Amino acid sequence: MAKIKRIRTKPCSKCIERNDVLYRVRIEEDGDWIFVCPACLEMVKPANPHFQYGGTWKSKKRH
């Protein structure tokens, strides 16, 4: 029997748009981890000395 895949989305912490791919990042020195969409990533990443990448969240999991 084939596995049923769930389609999930999550809101971006910056623009609140729901997305199926988000990046877990930290943009302040002692800040919390947040999820941002690809468009917002391009706004928060450049020239930010505190930027830290923490992984990619995808709606479609490999398993």
pTM of the model: 0.82
* Average pLDDT along the chain: 90
Q: Per-residue pLDDT averaged across 53-61, rounded?
A: 91
- What's the pLDDT at 1? 58
CA–CA gap between residue 41 and residue 5 (Å, rounded): 27
What is the DSSP pairing of strand 21-26 with strand 52-58? Answer: antiparallel
What is the DSSP pairing of strand 10-11 with strand 52-58? Answer: unpaired
Asked whether the predicted pLDDT for residue 5 surpasses 70, the reply is no
Q: Per-residue pLDDT averaged across 26-42, rounded?
A: 96
